[in-house]
Amino acid sequence: MPRRFGLPSVYLAAAVATAMTTAAPLAMTPASGLAARPATSEPALPHVVTARDRAAARDLVGEVRWRVRRYYTAALPGFATWLTPAEADELRADPRVRALEPDRLIRPLTGSRSPGAPGPEATGAGTTVYVVDSGLDAARAEFGDRAWRAFDATGGTGDDCTGHGTRVSREISGTAPGARIASVRVLGCDGAGTLSDVVAGLDWVRRHARHPAVANLSLDGDGSPAYATAVRRLTRSGVFVTGASDTAGCRPASGGQAFSAAAPGLAGLAARHLELHPAAGPLALASYLKCTTARGSVRQNPSGAARNGGR
């Protein structure tokens, strides 16, 4: 049985958020369709729908049969909606649907600190690291003018009221002091967020990323088809994704992502490498940085030849 939510206010906040670029357009809002449907006493719960492709997603949303809250255009072909149990069964049986899952809570993951990374003179200059987390205290002196609140999927100002996103950003900045830090807030002040908001944040990064780019996700999204699809599509767009895990070193994934208990430090090392090799793709970068966090250093070129005597 899917886990029920104990924090309904999370969904209320998401439903009433305004000026969201991932919100369903008015033309796709199912107000008229809902009015024509018979009243039901069944409770409607939040779900995330992943369609087979963009055309299927457009068709499903265009049918105005669903209470569409968000329509994703880049992270995945799909949408977030409210569904009764009968409607959920109807969608699961639809051949245009690849996956249907209850919207659920996503929590931050606090991993280990990465060791120091001596070696190249690179600082990550020219690279943008997107921190998908709880927001950012951009006024902190160590960030200077390199950090800003880029997007807030919760409908707020992007400020960090738990400190987790700021701590992650600080660790990335400590490893790559020249990198730009763009905060993408997807977690609320209670320390958790929703899957639909996280996908909205990844959707925004997919559409607005300034390359060369890295995205750090110190989040617990394991087991979600929508989350996996969004991360995979972000990687395919050329954004190197670092995710949190319980792995002490660096574990590359087949799609080009890299997972580590020290994900922020790995993101900083990736930014430093991209300063020297801005055309490096995610697959090559994941292979190049394999277990780098365990060594505490990053080589200056993929051939292994030392430059200025450093590795």
The C-alpha atoms of residue 78 and residue 297 are separated, in whole angstroms, by: 40
Inter-CA distances, 64 with 88, 89, 246, Å: 15, 17, 42
Question: Quick one: pLDDT at residue 248?
Answer: 64
Every domain of the chain with CATH number 3.40.50.200 lies at 128-294
Question: Per residue of the chain (311 residues), what is the pLDDT tens digit?
Answer: 443 344 444 444 443 343 344 444 433 433 223 333 444 567 899 999 999 999 999 999 988 677 899 999 999 999 999 999 999 999 999 999 999 999 999 999 876 565 445 445 789 999 999 999 999 997 776 888 899 999 999 999 999 999 999 999 999 999 999 999 999 999 999 999 999 999 999 999 999 999 999 999 999 888 899 999 999 999 999 999 998 877 666 776 766 787 877 889 889 999 999 999 898 888 878 777 764 443 333 333 333 333 333 33
The residue among 262, 254, 264, 258 whose CA lies nearest residue 294 is: 262
Inter-CA distances, 161 with 14, 20, 158, 185, 191, Å: 17, 20, 9, 11, 9
Every domain of the chain with CATH number 3.30.70.80 lies at 8-104
The residue among 143, 145, 212, 216 whose CA lies nearest residue 184 is: 216
Fold of 128-294: Rossmann fold (3.40.50)
Neighbours of 72 (CB within 10 A): 29
Are 149 and 134 in contact, with CB atoms under 8 Å apart?
no
- pTM score: 0.80
Judged by phi (left if over 0) then psi (alpha if -120 to 50, else beta), residue 309 lies in: left
Q: Report CA torsion sign: 127, 133, 135, 136.
A: negative
Which superfamily, per CATH, for 8-104? Peptidase S8 propeptide/proteinase inhibitor I9 (3.30.70.80)
Are 160 and 12 in contact, with CB atoms under 8 Å apart?
no
Place of tokens 């989040």: 219
Beta strand pairing status for 45-51 and 97-102?
antiparallel
